[in-house]
Chains A and B, each alone.
Chain A
Amino acid sequence: MAGLKGARERWVRTGGIELCVAELGDESRPTVLLVHGYPDSKEVWSEVAHRLAERFHVVLYDVRGHGRSTAPTPLRGGFTLEKLTDDFLAVADAVSPGRPVHLVGHDWGSVQSWEFVTVPRTEGRIASFTSMSGPSLDHFGHWIKQRMARPTPRRIGQLLGQGAKSWYVYLLHTPLLPELAWRGPLGRRWPKILQRVEKVPAGDYPTASLPGDAAHGAWLYRDNVRARLSRPRADAYAHAPVQLITPTGDVFLSERLYDDLGAWVPDLTRRSLPAKHWVPRTRPDQLAAWIGEFVGANEDRSTKAPKTTAKSGVRPEYAERFGGQLVLVTGAASGIGRATAFAFAEAGARIVAVDRNGEGAARTAEMSRLIGAPAAWGETVDVSDEQAMEKLAAKVASDYGTVDVLVNNAGIGLSGSFFATTSEEWKKVLDVNLWGVIHGCRIFGGQMAERGQGGHIVNTASAAAFQPSRALPAYSTSKAAVLMLSECLRAELAGQGIGVSAICPGIVNTAITATARFAGVGEEEQKRRQQKASRLYGLRNYPPEKVADAILRAVVRNEAVVPVTPEARGAHFMSRFAPRALRAIARLEPPA
């Protein structure tokens, strides 16, 4: 069986057809039932299924008329949601008699699973439901009705937006044409189209049964869509906990479809994933992690921890996006790095806090666990040491997993005129500020790219990257290099779903002033200037927490260059529209 090695196969007879059912994993474990979409067969789940099989009893079946399951005759009227529910119950009873199953649906698999989870006759058979890219037709019907009934400009926009994304649904309602296209040229070209447009990795998916699946599956639409959207059920309330995973780049479904979902689902967990429609192929690691976590939490309801209310200041969109992800922050023992680690921790991410100050890194990890990180580790590494970084990367990859968000934040300050700066000092600044970022991007970014399941890299540059100054030649040079490195890397990684952001904070109250070097002055004067700079930055008092918030926002929105403080924004604006004014400012002698 292509893509489902080691699966045990059986046939389930129901309502005059035969369903092909595959099973993986230990049957004594909780059962996770994966339902595929259109135009697919159960093999769409192969990557996710193998990952889940380590912990669960995983069951997949070909929906009637798809893959190796037989098709009903006649086709018309053979694909109604009622009949699909019969199929589900037959499979569930065969593979998990007497014990409820954890349902997972993608695309049409999710659409029909919504029916399963909202009709009374399945009550007690479903322990949880994870939905991706497939709304309930009943909820969808109400969604349309509400917007038609009170058409504000925004609601009209939402209707038109989803209306445009549903173009293929209209085409599928035409007679014969879809069948001809799928059995003809479209069926042949589909694998290439998926690779090019949806970035689905090449391999043994889609399977050879695709033309038949797609031709039969057109009846899923014809038998249900018009009927349900025009007369949606009024009692479509979910009787099991639901986890909704929303791919933010889905070209077929608007995120707005789920705005009112809270009214239908009493126990709803939301997740968001920056990916396109075919997430079971493009993001299997993340899906397996979220499904595993959700199934685990709902398997034994008695031990389930009560849902903690989100603390004030934690935005739900951060928790939806970063929950359970692995975030590595360098320079995490203080300042912006530490605040960033805490912000990700609050959103429920797992944290690797890296710093050459091991005590501080450990402290960051400890506090991260207290505020919501499911796990956090402190690591003592100097980012300018390539070998140490390689060792760290190997350890992280083997012990904690592949990094989802990398924050290259470690940096040191150096002030003083160009001629006062020795080559030793130049080397030191470039080693940490530039080479540290290069090592991070090359080693951890490389792992990310190799995994091929997206991610994000954040590099801390500085407002000094575009504001020249006679007082900060070395520091500004290093940060300008980081900015350009980020831009180049962003271009290179864009095709792989990996975003790169450069953060330009400006004057922020952190410990960088206390450790900054001042070139060309004695030790006594060093101390005095450090103290003075610290006091000045303290007076400015821009908190690193706000920079951390800007970093999370930049990752969610995939922003390229993010100036943070007002002075950084001003300098960024002037660098584009009034560079001569910036050069005049650069000539000012800083007070000693």
Chain B
Amino acid sequence: MASAMTKASAVTGGPAADLRGFREVQRLSYECAEAVAAQLKPGVTEREAAKMQRDWLYERGVRDWFHRPFAWFGDRTAFVDFKIPLQFFPTNRRLEAGMPFILDMAPVYKGYTSDIGYSGCLGLDPLHDKLLADLRAHRELILSQVRERRSLREIYEDVDRLMVRQGYANRHRAYPFGVIAHKIDRVRERRWSPTLFGFGTQSLKGLASDAVHGHRDGWSPLWSPYKFSDHPPRPGLWAVEPHLGFRGTGAKFEEILVVTDSKDPEQSAFWLDDDLPHVRRWNERDV
């Protein structure tokens, strides 16, 4: 099984090649996000933005998806009035000057999966800047708490409290099962890789098998506010996606957190890659 394979590698700190593979596809995804974001201009629709992401990645060899690319513009970045999951899919909403946007994609490349979220704004908006800057505390909080091996549900609640303290609404609550993160894995490459409601069937299969195994052992591949997430972090790769919303403006990042069963706290959990657009942005601000 693919999932068993990665588990073995990630758990043991594993073949560096595997992590390199994941890092490569995550970088590719962020490159795609930056390339597409640079082409966004007033009048582009969400559907067009999603297609731009798809085409860009297809040209570079991506054939399968954990989920197909999403694009949210304007107050849809904060999931205002989202009632059913179908509302996540790209619409004909057009981008306007000053609007925030989020690009979210999860390509599978050479059998490695990534899942990223890229927040931007067409023009300058001090409020959007503030949201992006405030995400930094969440990235640090999540890592430190995972290293302390606190239960995922408790970490979720701590992130929630930090958001409330910052004055924001928790918008990852709107995702299916309200997840702040989910496990991702290697996926076997096949000639035909269909998607189901935007999700790649191969990846869904992996997630489902994790869910079945986890259910037996008392853990879940979904990091949610519910009881089934009341367990310490499970070794493997987690796509973490805290999502802030504030009165019609939303911002998120999404990237892979590597959890291992190492005794050394530094090695027990770390972000797969620290050279990502949002992290660079924070560091530039510091200088």
Contacts and interface: CB of A to CB of B under 8 A. Distances in A.
Interface stretch (B144-152, B161-169, B190-198, B233-241): B161-169
B127 A370 contact: yes
A311 B167 CA distance: 18
A371 B247 contact: yes
A321 B98 CA distance: 26
Given A311-B247, A367-B246, A371-B127, A334 B80 contact: no
B167 A312 contact: no
A499 interface: no
B248 interface: yes
Interface in A211-237: none
B126 interface: yes
Given A363-B166, A364-B167, A312 B127 contact: no
Contacts of A334: 164-165
A313 B80 contact: yes
Interface in B45-84: 74-75, 80
Interface string A342-382: 10001000000000000010011001001100000000000
Interface in A302-358: 309, 311-313, 334, 338, 342, 346
B248 A313 contact: yes
A360 B247 CA distance: 18
Interface in A368-417: 370-371
A543 interface: yes
B130 A370 contact: yes
B164 A312 contact: no
A511 interface: yes
Contact of A370 (B74, B126, B169, B225): B126
Interface in B189-243: 225
A543 B170 CA distance: 11
Given A312-B74, A334-B164, A370-B126, A346 B169 contact: no
A367 to B, nearest CB: 5
B167 to A, nearest CB: 5
B245 to A, nearest CB: 11
A538 B167 CA distance: 16
B271 to A, nearest CB: 27
Interface residues of B, number: 16
Nearest to B74: A312
Contacts of A538: 225
A149 B108 CA distance: 66
B100 to A, nearest CB: 11
Contacts of A545: 247
Contact of B167 (A309, A338, A543): A338
Contacts of B80: 312-313
Contacts of A338: 167
Interface string B100-135: 000000000000000000000000001100100000
Given A370-B126, A370-B130, A371-B127, A313 B247 contact: yes
A367 B167 contact: yes
Given A313-B80, A313-B248, A360 B75 contact: no
Contacts of B246: 367, 371
Contacts of B126: 370
A117 to B, nearest CB: 31
B111 to A, nearest CB: 39
Contacts of B75: 311-313
A511 B164 contact: yes
A370 B80 CA distance: 19
A352 to B, nearest CB: 16
Contacts of A370: 126-127, 130
Nearest to B125: A370
Contacts of B127: 370-371
A360 B165 contact: yes
B116 to A, nearest CB: 26
Interface in A156-180: none
Contacts of A511: 164
A348 to B, nearest CB: 14
Interface string B165-179: 111010000000000
B230 to A, nearest CB: 12
A338 B163 CA distance: 13
Contacts of A371: 127, 246-247
Interface of B: 74-75, 80, 98, 126-127, 130, 164-167, 169, 225, 246-248
25 contacts: A311-B75, A312-B74, A312-B75, A312-B80, A312-B248, A313-B75, A313-B80, A313-B247, A313-B248, A334-B164, A334-B165, A342-B167, A363-B165, A363-B166, A364-B167, A367-B130, A367-B167, A367-B246, A370-B126, A370-B130, A371-B127, A371-B246, A538-B225, A543-B169, A545-B247
Interface of A: 309, 311-313, 334, 338, 342, 346, 360, 363-364, 367, 370-371, 511, 538, 543, 545
Given A363-B167, A370-B126, 16 more contacts: A311-B75, A311-B247, A311-B248, A313-B75, A313-B80, A313-B247, A313-B248, A334-B165, A360-B165, A363-B165, A364-B167, A367-B167, A370-B127, A371-B127, A371-B246, A511-B164
Listed from nearest, the 7 A-B pairs whose CB atoms lie closest are A370-B127, A312-B75, A367-B167, A312-B248, A311-B248, A370-B126, A313-B248
